[in-house]
Chains A and B, each alone.
Chain A
Amino acid sequence: MARIYIDNVQYEVPEGQNILSACLSLGFDIPYFCWHPALRSVGSCRMCAVKQFRDENDARGHIVMSCMTPADDGTRISIDDNDVREFRAGVIEWLMINHPHDCPVCDEGGECHLQDMTVMSGHVYRRYRFKKRTYLNQNLGPFINHEMNRCIQCYRCVRFYRDYAGGRDFNVFGINNRIYFGRCNDGTLENEFSGNLVEVCPTGVFTDKTLRKHYARKWDMQTAPSICPHCGLGCNIIVGERYGSLRRILNKYNHDVNGYFLCDRGRFGYEFVDGPSRIRQPLSRHDGDRSDGSLKAVEKKEALDLFKGISMDSARTLGIGSPRATLEANFSLRQLVGAENFCCGMSEHEERLVSSIIDILRNGPTYSPSLRDVEMCDAVLILGEDVTNVAPRMALSLRQSVREKPMEIADSLRIPRWADASVRQAVQDEKGPLFIVSPMGSGLDDIAARTLHIAPDDIARLGFQVAHEIDPDSPPVLDLPDELGRFAAHISAALKSSRRPLIVSGTSCGTLSVIQAAANIAWSLSRTERIAALSYTLPECNTLGLRLIGGLSMTDCFQKVLSGEVDSLIILENDLYRRAEALLVKGVLAKCKHVIVIDHILNRTGKESDLILPAGTFAETTGTLVSSEGRCQRQFSVMPPAGQTQESRIWISDVMAALGKDSAVNYSTIENIASEIAREFPVFKDLTEVSPPVNFRVFGQKIPRQAHRYSGRTAMPANVTVHEPKPPDDPESPLSFSMEGYSGIPPASVTPRFWAPSWNSCQAVNKFQKEIAGVSTGGDSGKRLIEPLTTENGVYFSELPEAFNFDNTKWVVIQSFHIFGSEELSSLGDSVSQRIPNPYIGLNGDDAASLGKDNGCMAQLIIGNVSLKLPVRIIPTLCSGLIALPVGIPGLEGVNLPAMGKIMED
């Protein structure tokens, strides 16, 4: 600990910080612009000036930039000194000279760091009377709005976009006082993390274009803490609502998971909630004909009666769960239909991969790292995974991990790590070892030490060899080509010389052996006295949780239907047409006497069902999700489900009650379900402690979802009724749908927004951390379910696949993921759908040439019973002999990959 003196009062702060973050941690307010806790210090804005004194006898002192000055033992500063106050007021006045008179029409207004800092520094009157500089703006695509006039040249945007997120299509242009931040030409920002510019920019240059369509101020939004439903990483988000519609997603700081940043899919993928395919009313089919358009809206009561009638009429009912539904909803369904009739809603293939991942994580000695841990790893091997498109936020963490090893250079020069400009100067282009072995190029290739594009089976073989190089006890690969052998030796050498190696793999290759190879490597590393991290990406937000509950596979389920053993299905938030071939699903649905769907989106499965119960989306659901890390986190509804919609879990408990089941009461509240789950599955023993209990109160008060300056309370419903209705109750969480309640800092998992007096922007998160960029004041959020068995060594897998052998006719069709498009829900949104690529058949240039195809030529691909006629896209990095087919994008749902395919001759 270092002792520092601030305005002659002594404080203790941890060593190795700069004065700015030390002071902010202590709760002092020092204005700043260019400094960002994740981007660190460059000292360019001159805003965070403080006066430093040599010792207690020094009365004059000298002005220093607090972000550039270490808070060493004995440092003596003044924040309140008149000279620095004037200095800071002068600086903000310069910065504000060209700032336009925009606040009323600026989307940042009310949550603007520049506004906060201007007020904080006491610049209240504009003396500048001359003409203001203006710029032309660019169209930066469907996500980001550009308004350059507002720029104060703090450089945070480029530092984030280029240095932190690795984007190439955005830069700073011009000289003198004509500095311009933008793209070379108009066009969509390509980086997957461009949305963070909204939060990084201290003023309104970059604002959320999706929010602009239905703008509401920060103080007017009802907000709740939630978990992103768009991939398996479980990033924490703050969801904002106004007038019953979802307005925007903001990052919710979670030290262990997403930190300060989100990916664009998570931030902008929310529009499906109020999209055209949303179901708002129970729908029922009155005639027997299962064709479009014969679904009619019914009332809730009638829907429950119909449900009852159907269950009386059916001999055996299967329930199909969903990896995008909450743990509670899935478990309730399992209890409704019985454990033996519950299907986990994944294809058999996927289910097998996920099971093996769970076995590896539960029974092996390696731990699955949080995203924070990923950032700290100093050597990374990615096996067969396109992290940028499958679990995008992890790619951002991996980008930081390659900076971990070169930090040694900075350390040896005694440059503090927070001095970002100096560190980058010292490190130059030096990068830590990151190896990518995958079937085709991925978003991280630019920072990889080496990449190799080979077929999935070869990836596994290489992986086994790497493990063997590290630990000779693991099974060797005998007939490995020399080139791969050398590569394996290179990788293993790098991993062995690292302190915290990380292996990333996942289900994208669709090959069990790749998953096993990754485990072998991690296990072999952990035998060498290292903390080896092993991370598997998973495609959906609750895949892991659902698999821990278990159930029949989809294949079994279909088998039972087709054999007539089962005559009705209850499908929970799951589009079967995305899980299996259309023909098969159609047959299964047709064979069923009754199909009941509980979902919020009217998809193909829904259109062919007999009864649809309208469920709540993540914004209307309180429930628990398990991330691919094994972290159990609770999401809270931000608004009560409107009209006839209800959370899936509530529908199921209503149905149980309607059927007169005695156990219905056990599934009526979230806490009851949680304790039932914990009782049935020991792995979920901490489930009830994931968030504070329902009856949690601070000073007897709930935590309000609405800000204390929430406006329009007496006018919002006035066009319907002037008798202001009572705000809806929320019996299922410690949060209330009201502006009344505890306004201090609640536990982290139920923090609905970041706001502190005089900190209206998202930078208020500083006040919610024990120390800057450290853990939250409100404690941990989420519980890790799976911890490694450190006593075990792990039994090496030894089933080696055959080497890939291409015979020019049988192509292996692999999955190609797209951040926009591969995920079901986000693709339904208006903005994200503009970024979805058209379906294509991806081919290596040589392969395409041998087939006589060029970019854009149509080709016909046959996979089993499926025939696809699509344009060819040449992917130079794709391994020869493979065909890449985009996953899940409209038109290509339900193709189970990897599979063997055939290209038809014209």
Chain B
Amino acid sequence: MLSLVKGIWTVFKHSIRKRETVLYPEEKPSLHPRWRGRIILSRDPDGEERCVACYLCAAACPADCIALQATQDEHGRRYPEFFRINFSRCIFCGFCEEACPTYAIQLTNDFEMGEYHRHNFVYEKEHLLINGSGKHPEYNFYRVSGVSVGAKDSGEGENEEPPVDIHSLMP
């Protein structure tokens, strides 16, 4: 019973504390670099799309708000034919960024996304793709994967031997 009264007294003492609220539109909050805001798609250091349309972001998304379709260019390099995020459903959990094996999908510091119409929240690939690599500026998935894609043939990636000569009889 006494503890209850003590609790009430403690709260009462807060009458003269400084307020913690940041008066947002007048005063901008300082955001951590890992803030989870508007989602973008980045490019690799060569300026190509990083996204390889593996569907893992879509699978990880708890709001099921990512839809895409994979396709590939004439060299077999896979990329998304379309990539759609319905931000009116997105909960900015960042699971897509965590799931992404190529650092393509990233969450940014932008959270000011107010719109008057819900359909304006539907972002297609041209709205998502930026001209930069964002976080992890050096990473280039196709350099470390085993598939050959135009610029890189089999055996020319990082940590790869040249293709084996199957006709060789050397032990």
Contact = CB atoms under 8 A, between A and B. Distances in A.
A and B touching (Cβ–Cβ under 8 A): yes
Interface of A: 100-106, 109-110, 130-137, 147, 149-150, 173-176, 178, 180, 212, 214-217, 219-220, 242-243, 709-716, 718-719, 721-723
Contact of B118 (A109, A131, A722): A722
Contacts of B66: 711-712, 715
Interface string B61-72: 101111111111
B84 interface: yes
A134 B171 contact: no
A714 B85 CA distance: 9
B89 interface: yes
Contacts of A220: 55, 58-59
B154 A711 contact: no
Contacts of A722: 86, 88, 118-119, 121-122
Contact of A174 (B68, B69, B86, B164): B164
Nearest to A739: B64
Given A716-B67, A722-B118, A100 B168 contact: no
B64 A713 contact: yes
B64 A715 contact: yes
25 contacts: A104-B54, A104-B102, A105-B52, A131-B161, A134-B155, A134-B163, A134-B164, A135-B163, A136-B163, A147-B146, A150-B146, A174-B166, A174-B167, A214-B69, A214-B71, A216-B70, A242-B69, A711-B55, A711-B64, A712-B65, A715-B64, A715-B84, A715-B122, A719-B124, A723-B118
B169 interface: yes
Interface in B130-155: 141, 144-148, 154-155
Nearest to A711: B58
Contacts of B70: 215-216
Contacts of A133: 161, 164
B58 A712 contact: yes
B169 A175 contact: yes
A109 B71 CA distance: 15
Nearest to B89: A714
A178 B166 contact: yes
Contact of B159 (A131, A173, A242): A131
Contact of A718 (B67, B147, B165): B67
Contacts of A243: 69
Interface in B69-118: 69-72, 78, 84-86, 88-89, 101-102, 118
B160 A131 contact: yes
A715 B85 contact: yes
B25 interface: no
A712 B55 CA distance: 10
Nearest to B53: A215
Q: Output the residue of B52, B64, B102 with the most chain A CB within 10 A.
A: B64
Contacts of A173: 166
Contacts of B71: 214-215
Given A104-B54, A105-B147, A134-B162, A715 B65 contact: yes
Contacts of B161: 131-134
A134 B64 contact: no
A100 B159 CA distance: 10
B101 A104 contact: yes
A92 to B, nearest CB: 18
B40 interface: no
B145 A217 contact: no
B169 to A, nearest CB: 7
Nearest to A215: B70
A149 B64 contact: no
Contacts of B72: 212
Chain B contact residues, majority secondary structure: loop
Contacts, number: 143
A558 B52 CA distance: 57
A219 to B, nearest CB: 6
Contacts of B63: 714
A449 B68 CA distance: 54
B160 A136 contact: no
Closest 10 pairs (CB-CB, A-B): A100-B146, A712-B67, A104-B54, A711-B58, A715-B67, A134-B155, A149-B146, A713-B64, A174-B166, A715-B86
A712 B65 CA distance: 5
Most buried by A among B84, B160, B166: B166
A220 B69 CA distance: 11
A711 B54 CA distance: 12
A176 B161 CA distance: 16
A109 B163 CA distance: 23
Contacts of B157: 134
Contacts of B166: 135, 173-174, 178, 180
A242 B65 CA distance: 16
Contacts of B88: 722
A180 B154 CA distance: 15
Contacts of B145: 100-102, 104-105
Given A102-B147, A105-B52, A712 B102 contact: no
Contacts of A174: 164, 166-168
Contacts of A215: 53, 70-71, 78
Nearest to B69: A243
Given A131-B160, A214-B69, 20 more contacts: A101-B145, A102-B146, A106-B147, A131-B161, A133-B161, A133-B164, A134-B160, A135-B163, A147-B146, A150-B146, A174-B168, A176-B170, A180-B164, A215-B78, A220-B59, A709-B59, A712-B68, A715-B67, A719-B122, A723-B118
A134 B89 CA distance: 43
A104 B155 CA distance: 18
Contacts of B59: 110, 217, 219-220, 709, 711
Most buried by B among A101, A243, A709, A712: A712
A67 B121 CA distance: 55
Contacts of B165: 178
A711 B67 contact: yes
A131 B89 CA distance: 44
B32 to A, nearest CB: 27
Contact of B141 (A104, A132, A710, A715): A104
A721 B52 CA distance: 27
B62 to A, nearest CB: 10
Contact of A109 (B54, B58, B89, B155): B54
Contacts of A723: 118
Contacts of A212: 72
Given A102-B146, A718-B86, A722-B86, A711 B163 contact: no
Nearest to B58: A711
Nearest to B88: A722
B146 A132 contact: yes
Nearest to B99: A104
A178 B162 CA distance: 12
A55 to B, nearest CB: 44
Nearest to B84: A715
A176 B167 CA distance: 12
A173 B170 CA distance: 13
B154 A136 contact: yes
Contact of A135 (B58, B164, B169): B164
Query: Which of B59, B119, B167 counts the most chain A CB atoms within 10 A?
Result: B59
A175 B169 CA distance: 7
Given A709-B59, A711-B61, A149 B89 contact: no
Residue from B54, B121, B164 whose CB has the most chain A CB atoms within 10 Å: B164
Given A105-B78, A178-B164, A719-B122, A137 B67 contact: no
Contacts of B119: 718, 721-722
A176 B169 CA distance: 9
B159 A130 contact: yes
Contacts of B67: 711-712, 715-716, 718
Nearest to A179: B166
A104 B50 CA distance: 12
Contact of A216 (B55, B101, B124): B55
B9 to A, nearest CB: 49
Contacts of A136: 154, 163
A867 B35 CA distance: 76
